[in-house]
Amino acid sequence: MNRDMDLVRDILLKVEERKYPSMSELMEDENDKEERDYLGHNTRILFDAGYIRGEDATSMDAGDDWIALDLTWRGHEFLDAIRDPEVWRPTANRWRKRNLDLISDEYKIVKAV
């Protein structure tokens, strides 16, 4: 499953606003397993990378499901760097073109824009 950097940014913004208690709040159709898995994957990689604190709410029925509790220090720093849409657009385009790794290259790309 692919990482969606636009979705990653949206998740970080929602977590910061504390409007993201569970994935179902971001979903258009709670019964869409494919959408749930996609959101779950992108939330899980944010957790794995140390950008958010969260709880694994995965079940056999629901699939990959996470409850995002808060941003970590690293998550706040990264979000502050990409918050401005004028910074985000060129940054996201560079990630897409170069297929860069979120964990190792985040600040290098933002600073280069």
Q: Quick one: pLDDT at residue 76?
A: 94
> Quick check: 9 and 88 in contact, CB under 8 A?
yes
pLDDT in tens, 80-106: 999 999 988 888 887 777 665 554 555
Query: Does 1.10.10 match the CATH number of domain 5-112?
Result: yes
- The ranges of the chain with pLDDT < 50 are 103
Q: Quick check: helix, strand or coil at residue 2? A: coil
Q: Quick one: pLDDT at residue 77?
A: 93
φ and ψ at residue 27, rounded to 5 degrees? -85, 145
> Quick check: 55 and 67 in contact, CB under 8 A?
yes
